[in-house]
Amino acid sequence: MALSVTEKQHWKDRIDQKIKRRIESLKALNATYFAEMETAAKLTAATELGIHSDIEAIRAMEQKIEKLQNDSKKHLLQVIEKISGKQLNPYYAQMDRVDTELKPHIERCLHKLLTNDPRGQEVIKLESEREQLLDTIWLATSSRQVRDMWTQVLKLLGEDSSEFQKEVIAAAKPGE
């Protein structure tokens, strides 16, 4: 019996959650390692882009600004307390924008760093399977012609199926 699109989506979501929990578990077991890799990836990305010293200068300025604002806030709070008892809103850093722009570069560098360690390799493999999960489910429930076409498309593009997809395609009945 063929699965409906809704059923395929359901199974994709269920499997995705299991893989996600496994990735989170691996990262929790090796929290220090993954934190170090993320820090190294940020530094590498900023250095490769030639903006490391700029980011350091911005951070130093923000620290000075934060200190001045804290001092100012103390004095303002004293005045406001005398007048109405209300407090001011905290200062929100502008580094968020730089971090947002830097994120894809950090992810690329992190991926490169993680490929050099078995713990990182396992996380990369699981994340890759998550990204391809919907295709894998459709391949598992599609006809032989669709699976063969998928294999040919990947060959044309110079890509390869994931190990999980290969197993799914191999497990299909020959007459399908």
Short-list 114, 130, 133, 106, CA closest to 48: 106
The larger pLDDT score, comparing residue 137 to residue 100, is at 137
Residue-level pLDDT at 165: 87
Q: Report pLDDT digits (tens) over 11-30.
A: 889 898 999 999 999 999 99
- 95-108 average pLDDT score: 78
Residue-level pLDDT at 176: 57
Residue-level pLDDT at 123: 92
Two tokens at 10?
A: 């359901």
Residue 90 has pLDDT above 50, yes or no: no
Residue-level pLDDT at 113: 92
Confidence of residue 93 (pLDDT cuts 50, 70, 90): very low
Residue-level pLDDT at 92: 40
pTM over 0.75: no
Across the chain, mean pLDDT equals: 83
Q: How far is CA 4 from the centre of its chain?
A: 30
Residues 6+ apart with CB under 8 A from 80: 86, 87, 88
Residue 77 has pLDDT above 80, yes or no: no
What share of the chain has pLDDT > 70, as a percent? 84
Q: How far is CA 59 from the centre of its chain?
A: 24
Return the amino acid letter for 8. K
Residue-level pLDDT at 118: 92
Residue-level pLDDT at 28: 92
Compute how many other C-beta atoms are within 10 angstroms of the C-beta atom of residue 114. Answer: 21
Residue 53 has pLDDT above 90, yes or no: yes
Residue-level pLDDT at 170: 83
